[in-house]
Every structure is written in structure tokens, then in C-alpha cells.
Structure 1
Amino acid sequence: MSLPSRVQLIDVGPRDGLQNEKQPVPAAVKIELVHRLQAAGLKEIEVTSYVSPKWVPQMADNHQVMSGMTRQSGVRYSVLTPNLKGYESAVLDQPDEIVVFGAASEAFSQKNINCSIAESIERFAPVVEAALAAGIAVRGAMSCTVGCPYEGEIAPERVAYLAGLMKQIGVQRVDVADTIGVGTPLKVQRALEATLQHYDIDHISGHFHDTYGQALSNTLAALQMGVWNFQSSVAGLGGCPYAKGATGNVATEDVVYLLSGMGIETGIDLDQLVDAGVFISGHLGRKPNSRVATAVLNKRAA
């Protein structure tokens, strides 16, 4: 068992976390959230996406957010670009990395973006090519790598297939995502093993949802394989649209506490992170969806 000595977290709260919120979140609040996350020590932040505002109205202020934030040296700011039009819009705001996405489930791909997995990758090929030519890093989000709301369990071969397609078009690193949070440790390890057929451990990140309370167990299972890059969301922002009332992304606070307790360095200040979660949760009119934040806040109140 070779645990990494350091882990780098990508906080996806500003993008993945907020995109499904019904109430509009002002650009100024999103900018403040980014500032608080980087002040807490986060070195990678997924800021926004360049999708049609008709489909995701919450991200319509992408230019405003990207141009309004104060960038910190050494922090990587990534954005989601679903097509060439999105990329052309994004490139004006100088992101450090663009994110394209594909599903390991054919049914999910059809329902989500109306095309097959292979067709979705064909669409992304020119986006990846343009980004690399412009010196912008490219990450590929691989969704539904262990389970799908339509197909059920996903075979590791499907994950390997998707990873291979991503590699072919030049995607530099990939996220192995348990999008609906049904994964358990061994299933997650099989999905990671399948991805390792095409990417080395330094170019794979874990993205686990906590729908069934398995995200931290799955994080530990990935750590045991040497994965050192993970995605999480401050205050556990972001629900799971396919499991009503279920929690979505694992809370960054919970992952930081786990890693810290294992002696794994993150460079993140837990107290400042909790404060960032309190800030955005307060704006949304609820408490942070993080066990660790709740415990820290109760301790402070006492």
C-alpha cells in the first residue's frame, strides 16, 4: 500500500456545485467564493462553464466571474467547455485548463448530450486540439464510471474504452467520476485500474459523490492505489439530479480532515475552508453539507 505523501484537491464548488442551484447566485458572490478558496490554500479551482445559458442559466455570468476574480500565482483555474463555440468564448477569459466530458455509459451519453460516446469524443477533438495549440491544459471528465441511472452497473471495459478515446484525442489527464455516488471501494478500484490502461497514476483524479455515504471510503480506496489528485466541493455543494434529495459531491472539508488525519499534506487551512463553506451556504440560505464543517462549527459555538 503506497499512500501518497501529498494530495492536490480541485474544488469544483463554484462550477459543479452551483450549476444546479435554482436561485441565481450573483457573480460577486461566486468571485468571493473563489477568493476564499484560494486563500484557504486550494491550488486548483473549477470556476465556471461555457454552456448555453438556456441550458445552464446559473453559468451565464462566466465572463464576469473570470474577469472579476483576482488570480493568485500558482493556482490553476479550470472551466468546462462542451463544444468549440464554448471553447472560443472561454479562451477570451484565459483559463489555465479546459474540461471536456464524456460518459462511460451509452444511455447516459444519449440522454445527457444526445449522442453516442464515440460521437461525443469526435465533437471534443477540435476543442482539445485548439486548446493544446493555445498552450491551455486539457482535462477529461469521465462520468458514470461505476454506475449509471439508466444502465445500472458499468463494466470496467466501458471505462477503459472511454479513457482510450480521451487519450486518442489528446486529453492530458482524466477524472474517474462516480457521478451518481453508487460506487463502493472495489468497484472504484476496478474503474481506476481500467483507466490505468491508458493513463498513468499522475494523470488520474478521483471524483466521488456521496449519495450513499461512500465517498470517503472510495477516496481511501483510490489513495491506496496511489491516486493523489481528487475533486471535491466546498460545503458539499451540488446535489445529485438522478437521486432526489441525495447529496452530491463529497465535501472538501471532509476530504481535508481525512487526509490530515492520515498525515497526508494538502496545503489547505481547514478553518478557512470551513469559513468559505459557511459563506456560500449562508448565501444559499442553508447550513454547509459537510460533517466536518458541522463538527467544527459546533465546537466553535461551544
Structure 2
Amino acid sequence: MKLPEKVTIYEVGPRDGLQNEKTLVPTDVKAEFVRRLVTAGLPVVEATSFVHPRWVPQLADAAELMTILGEDGRDHPVLVPNERGLDRALELGLRHVAIFGSATETFAQKNLNRGLDEQFAMFEPTVRRAREAGLDVRAYVSMCFGDPWEGAVPVEQVVSVGKRLFDLGASQLSLGDTIGVGTANQVTALVTAFTDAGMTTDQLALHFHDTYGQALANAYAGLQAGITTYDASAGGLGGCPYAKSATGNLATEDLVWLLTGLGIEHGVDLEQLVATSVWMAAQLGRPSPSAVVRAVGGTPGPAQSPG
């Protein structure tokens, strides 16, 4: 089966990776993390989220972080949950934003304080205003493969929600296995369902968590299905504050190792990336869950000041 010649890795470590950390990471460390990821060759680095600090205190410094990143930071995507978040992104002159919807009723209520259908009324003006201002918009849809409260999620429900989010004006739709229960056959079935519904593979991205150790197998199934954009988190950092069963994201290093072995171009310097994840693990005071970081990078030493 023919695989893609090139893949884009959409790095989510600074946002999705750090949002669930128990320890608050200093803003200057976050800025250094972003810069190191860019230096390692990651073409897209999602920096933070303009969510209310009461809900995700780990990202309360979003505006300060983007200010520190300066002009270069304007091209880093940020998550905006609503129009208030968009206002903050516009004030800072940012060029790329993302919205985060849910494929299930329960998670929509817990994460957005909105019903499944009500979420679109919140996102519509956010996306419209962002597009009018010339910003690119990405849409995430979570719980695509399973929900901890509702169980298995019907494929047709995921497609219906995902297309509605995308059709608001997004340039790309990221399909999230938020709690990491998906399998390769499910990936194939879901991508097929979206393409049968009229979406193209270049409009879709895949976002896996590794709860059951299936993230790499699922990524390979995505490659076989023609998907060329994959969300990943340096060092396998991440989780979800509103889904306690969600563990770390697909580790960027593990994905890079897979792609390199398959001869697929990705543009990432694995040595620099591993060094970055070892450094961040030291900041957090614990080893990285990434298999490649453990194999190649060794054990992190004492945390050092960013520089």
C-alpha cells in the first residue's frame, strides 16, 4: 500500500502537553520549550490556549507567553474556546487559532458547559470573526473513538459533528482519540467515513493518545488511509483536565522514529528533539514517557535555567 511521501507534524506539547501538569511551569521555560521545538524542525508548534485560568490554571500566562515569543510567536497557533479567547488573540496580532469541539453530549457539557448542538452557536461567531480578520482556523473534535461516560461513539455521530465544525470555516479538522481507546480498524473506518462524506484527506488530521499503547499503530493506519498531518507532543506529555482517563499524547519522537523508518519526510531533527524532551522532563522532575526518549536520551539530570 502506498504511503505518503511527506507528513506534517503538528506539535501540541506546549499546549496540550502542559495543560494537565500538576506543577505550574514558569513562563520563560514555556517560551524556551517552544523555541527549542522550532529549532528542532517542528513546522507547527501550538503554543497555548486562551482559556479562562479558573479552568486551566497551567495556561493562565497565555498572553504573557505570546508577548515573550514576540513577532515569531504570531505564527504559533493558539486555542481559543470562545469569542473572549479570540479577542485576546486578535489583540496580540496572532495569525492562527483553533477551536475545540466535542463529538459527545457529556463531554460537551463537562468541557464546554454547552450541549452537543449548543456548542456550534458558540463557535460560529468565533470562527466567522477570525476568518473576517484574516486568521486561519483549525477545528478539533474530541472523543472521536470513545467517551469515558458514554462509551463507544457512533461513527456517523463523529462525522456529523466534525463536518459541522469544519464547515463553520476551518481549514483543517483534527480527529481526537481523547482517551486513547481507538484501534487501527477504527481509524480506517473513521477516515473512510469522512472521505465518503465529502472531506479530503488533506483536510483531516489525527490526534492520538497512548493510553492502551495503540497510538503508533493508529498513526500507521492513518498513513495507510492517506492522512498527512499528525498531532504529537514532545516527550509524550499531555492529558485532558476534563477526561481523567486520558494519558499522554502520541510522543513526537516515537512518531518521528516511525516516519523515518518508513522513509517518509518530516523535517525534524530527532537528536535535537530528544534533547528538548529530556530538558523538559528535568523541568517537570520526572522521566519522559516516550519510548524513543528513554532509549536514546537517557535519564534527565537536574533542571537548568532556560538559555
AA of the residue aligned to 1:185: A
1:249 aligns with 2:249: yes
Q: 1:134 matched to which residue of 2?
A: 133
1:25 and 2:14 are equivalent in the alignment: no
SS at match of 2:25: coil
Write the distance in 1 (CA, Å) between the matches of 2:198 and 2:16: 26
Amino acid at match of 1:9: I
How many residues align? The count is: 299
Q: Is the 8 A contact 1:3 1:226 kept in 2?
A: yes
Answer yes or no: is the 8 Å Cα contact 1:159–1:194 preserved in 2: no
Instruction: Tell me the SS of whatever aligns to 1:176.
Output: strand
Give secondary structure in 2 for the equivalent of 1:88.
helix
Residue type of the alignment partner of 2:20:
N
What corresponds to 1:225 in structure 2? 225
The residue number in structure 1 matching 2:58 is 58
Determine if contact 2:179/2:247 at 8 Å carries over to the other structure: no
Alpha-carbon distance in 1 for matches of 2:260, 2:22: 34
What is the aligned partner in structure 1 of residue 149 from structure 2? Answer: 150
What is the root-mean-square deviation of aligned Cα atoms in Å?
Answer: 2.0
Contact kept? 2:97, 2:135, Cα under 8 Å: yes
Question: Residue 283 in 1 paired to residue 296 in 2?
Answer: no
Give 3-state SS (helix, strand or coil) of 1:21's partner: coil
Whether contact under 8 Å (1:164, 1:198) holds in the other structure is no
Aligned equivalents of 1:282, 1:298: Cα separation in 2: 12
Q: Scaled by the length of structure 2, what TM-score is found?
A: 0.93
Is the 8 Å Cα contact of residues 127 and 168 (structure 2) preserved in structure 1? yes
The equivalent of 1:170 in structure 2 is 169
| TM-fit CA distance, 1:70 | 5.2
Residue 100 of structure 2 aligns to a residue whose secondary structure is: strand
Shift of 1:114: 2.2
Structure 1 residues 49, 240: CA separation in 2 closer, same or farther (over 3 Å shift)?
closer
Residue 8 of structure 2 corresponds to which residue in structure 1?
A: 8
Match of residue 122 from structure 2 = 123
Give the alignment's TM-score, normalised by structure 1.
Answer: 0.94
Contact 2:144 2:178 in 1 (8 A): yes
Counterpart CA distance in 1 for 2:188 and 2:72 is 34
- Extract unaligned runs of 5+ from structure 1: none
CA drift at 1:170: 1.4
Residues 174-200 of structure 1, C-alpha deviation per residue, up to 9 Å, x if partnerless? 001100000000112222223322421
What's the offset of the Cα at 1:95?
2.4
Instruction: Report how far residue 243 of structure 1 moved.
Output: 4.9
Aligned-pair identity (%):
44
Structure-2 separation of matches of 1:299 and 1:209: 23
